[in-house]
Amino acid sequence: MTQSTDADRDSALKSRRRLLRDTGMIGGAAVAGALGASEAGAADTDNLPPNAPEWMKTPGDPMGSQPYGTPSPFEKNVVKNIPKNLKQYLSASARTPLQDLDGIITPNGLFYERHHGGVPSVDPAQHRLMLHGLVDRPLIFTMDDLRRFPSQSRIHFLECSGNPAYTKPFGKTASDLVGLLSCAEWTGVSLKLVLQEAGLQAGAKWVVAEGADAAALTRSIPIEKCLDDAMLAYSQNGERLRPQQGYPLRLLLPGFEGNMNVKWLRRLHVTAEPAYSREETSKYTDLMPDGTSREFTFYMEAKSIITKPSGGQRLTTPGFHEITGIAWSGHGKIKRVDVSVDDGKSWQEAQLQEPILTRALTRFRLPWHWDGQPAVIQSRAIDETGYVQPTLAELLGVRGENSFYHNNAIWPWRIASDGEVTNAAA
Amino acid sequence: MTQSTDADRDSALKSRRRLLRDTGMIGGAAVAGALGASEAGAADTDNLPPNAPEWMKTPGDPMGSQPYGTPSPFEKNVVKNIPKNLKQYLSASARTPLQDLDGIITPNGLFYERHHGGVPSVDPAQHRLMLHGLVDRPLIFTMDDLRRFPSQSRIHFLECSGNPAYTKPFGKTASDLVGLLSCAEWTGVSLKLVLQEAGLQAGAKWVVAEGADAAALTRSIPIEKCLDDAMLAYSQNGERLRPQQGYPLRLLLPGFEGNMNVKWLRRLHVTAEPAYSREETSKYTDLMPDGTSREFTFYMEAKSIITKPSGGQRLTTPGFHEITGIAWSGHGKIKRVDVSVDDGKSWQEAQLQEPILTRALTRFRLPWHWDGQPAVIQSRAIDETGYVQPTLAELLGVRGENSFYHNNAIWPWRIASDGEVTNAAA
């Protein structure tokens, strides 16, 4: 079945006999030394190209053997980062393995999870969204109703506000640290449009959103956000939402802390005052040094992390290594990412991957020649408002020792002389 | 566990007693008539909000019950479109269910498949890429070598060149017609950079790419494309390539016909002439009316299709319906998409979803009021070169009756008075 011609093969064999030199930057082995298999091996089967590996010698798996595909078995360790030995898993979280991912899109199978009452199995045919309160026309929508509205699609990140907490141990990997973070292309209906359909009344200042999970998770959203870029989302990376992300309907509030993006959304109550629900009083509120509470901390501030090299990885050799990571801001676009390879003494501007989208992950990269000496590397994000990602010390100086949420500190990685990468702030 | 306050509940109950009117555009039911469950039902459990569905009454599935997540069981019919009763599945194709998807990203589990010798199970630790021929330094790369190069991430579509063939039956759904089409965020290494590492010699005009499948699929790529935006891709939508898409390494040639984007890439042979392999002679070449062969038809021309409403779907009621679909061009960005709802007599400009990316799917939308009468709807794409997607009749007029590949014709859907949508050109 092969199309390799004799000329191809002759050329390949000749190339192995050439005197080769290694390359300056990264290399790849010179052909002569690295082919491994004997030349005789290539002649076992007339139709096979030189040194054909085992998997070329027999037909592969048939097309469509997986009606819904899954990753290669060789990637079986790339899974959600699930805490071991939790007391219970109903109010808990699972992290995205950021250090194993490229680009900005998180595949749906690895999207982070955070639940307060487990993952309900919601029948979309039975699911309803009620919109009531300070509106002219209270309404109840089926999923089919919502799918008939004009749609929109946008790429946005979602991040838990406790990502990570301020308390040690911070963890070993990028996932341990900030894996309550993912990014997807969302499709749904403009919440503004749906609110206009119902007719907002004077005095409508908040929308209290309620989920259809056993926790009936409830959060109050300022009306300004609801009339800006808020979305009633039913699809994620093309397909319908996954159960863990709110199937069949969730609220999407780009840039706002994760739990406000209420999953399994069943009710929107338009009110004059916030609900002061559990998730905005006993949780998701921080005690400040002066004894006051910092509440309604909606926006996720600018943040970044180097994912490669990062904790748990190892540089196998000195020489060229690309430093790459992700940056994001709840306030808009990432304007710049600086990277330091000398423990913060100096900073270089990283390259940002286009397109740079608002309230989405932005991939950054910096070429780096590692000299084999111990090093501390870190990144800091600057967003379009000019805000600069702070150090942990700076954050603690302002927020005190009792804050739990909204830790967006710079995170340094330590590289040992043997190439091992560890959390420099652990 | 709920945060619903008594005030919330009182308000909800009151809202159901209000006199409500339906809304002009889409509606959603008025609250009074549609809540369904009795008010008494809301009082069954003190902590539950009014009319709580069954899935709020018990805790849901525990967090992390799927270390690698899968879709909701309610979406079990959204799978790849796999031909029934094929003689064999080693050289065959499976289509993406475009009519069930939103946005532009195709989830990896639903990415289209086209194989010529089945899907090999390639061990990434054993896999090698050989680069040889008209280069100064023939090289062999491990996957680790390639991962050390500077990386890049871009969103691009991939499309089989026979999507669809010119021959009836064309099929019933958008997937049947053009489902050999998907779009993902790819990450990998610039092929230009790797070629520069090896050093191109004078006379290098083609790169012959060979896959490590049992078909040793082989295609010749013009050197100009290799030095432009070609990529050695190892990741797709964040995670490593799926086996069906070339794990652990594929060639990505944005805008070029699918099979040139050689999967399981093991060899790049730099040559002065093309290989004239099976896949560029007996396949992927078209017989023209004058008896000549149209060969090396690399670029996928501008194309579009309406995915909603589309064949196999049904409009349940007259009134507002959004028409939405996807457009793409191998030559660059989509400039405009026109939609006709009167069998091609008149055309309206659709709205394009930002960001509009080069050689990527672009989602388009047009608001439409269906009057309940039979209608034929269709879309035509115009790309940044000014090229306009042709009708099937126009294509056949140029290409004749023996062409098989590169059918980018406009595709009309017929809507019957009962709302049923069928293929108007079937």
CB atoms within 10 A of CB B82: 18
Which backbone phi and psi does B39 adopt, to 5 degrees? -60, -35
Distance CA B207, CA A15 (A): 15
Evaluate if residue A267 carries a pLDDT over 60: yes
A124 prior amide bond cis, ω within 30: no
Q: Which of B31, B59, B212 sits opposite A118 (nearest CB)?
A: B59
Looking at residue B308, its pLDDT comes to 98
Looking at residue A27, its pLDDT comes to 56
pLDDT digits (tens, 9 = 90+) for A142-189: 999 999 999 999 999 999 999 998 888 889 999 999 999 999 999 999
**Using CB atoms and an 8 Å cut-off, which of residues 185-204 of chain A contact chain B?**
185-187, 197-198
Average pLDDT over residues A89-100: 95
Confidence bin at A2 (pLDDT 50/70/90): very low
Looking at residue B31, its pLDDT comes to 58
A contacts of B49 (beta carbons < 8 Å)? 210, 216, 267
Average pLDDT over residues B319-335: 98
Average pLDDT over residues A349-360: 98
Q: Which of A49, A63, A215 sits opposite B115 (nearest CB)?
A: A63
Give Cβ neighbours of residue B213 (< 8 Å, ≥ 6 apart): A55, A56, A60, B115, B116, B117, B118, B119, B120, B263, B264
- Mean pLDDT value across chain B: 89
- The answer to which of A129-138, A310-319, B395-404 has the lowest mean pLDDT is B395-404
* Gap from A204 CA to chain B (nearest CA, Å): 14
Question: Strand order of the sheet with strand A362-370?
Answer: A303-308, A319-328, A362-370, A351-352
Give Cβ neighbours of residue A118 (< 8 Å, ≥ 6 apart): A89, A90, A213, A214, B59, B60, B61, B62, B63
Evaluate if residue B42 carries a pLDDT over 80: no
Average pLDDT over residues A309-334: 97
Confidence bin at B24 (pLDDT 50/70/90): very low
Question: Per the CB < 8 Å rule, is B78 touching A240?
Answer: yes
Confidence bin at B84 (pLDDT 50/70/90): confident
Question: Per the CB < 8 Å rule, is A1 touching B215?
Answer: yes
pTM, to two decimals: 0.91
Asked whether A42 and B67 are in contact (CB, 8 A), the reply is no
Average pLDDT over residues B144-163: 97
Q: Which of the residues B3, B143, B339, B365 would you substitute to probe the A interface, choosing the one with the greatest number of A C-beta atoms within 10 Å?
A: B3
* Gap from B147 CA to chain A (nearest CA, Å): 9
B contacts of A107 (beta carbons < 8 Å)? 107-108, 237-239
How much of chain B exceeds pLDDT 70, in percent?
Answer: 89
ipTM associated with this complex: 0.91
Confidence bin at B3 (pLDDT 50/70/90): very low
Task: Give the residue among A334, A338, A283 at the shortest CA–CA distance from A306.
Answer: A338
Cα pseudo-dihedral B203, B206, B212, B214, rounded to 10: -120
Q: With an 8 Å Cβ cutoff, is A275 touching chain B?
A: yes
Looking at residue B102, its pLDDT comes to 98
**Using CB atoms and an 8 Å cut-off, which of residues 295-354 of chain A contact chain B?**
316, 320-322, 324, 353
* Gap from B320 CA to chain A (nearest CA, Å): 7
| Residue pointed to by tokens 């595909």 | A69
Angular region, B77: left φ>0, alpha ψ -120 to 50, beta rest: alpha
Which backbone phi and psi does A200 adopt, to 5 degrees? -75, 140
Question: What are the tokens at A354?
Answer: 């286009």
A to B CB pairs, distance under 8 Å: 484
Q: With an 8 Å Cβ cutoff, is A89 touching chain B?
A: yes
Q: A369 or B12: which carries more pLDDT confidence?
A: A369
Confidence bin at B224 (pLDDT 50/70/90): very high
The number of angstroms, rounded, from the C-alpha of A64 to the middle of its chain's C-alpha atoms is 29
pLDDT digits (tens, 9 = 90+) for A192-221: 999 999 999 999 999 999 999 999 999 999
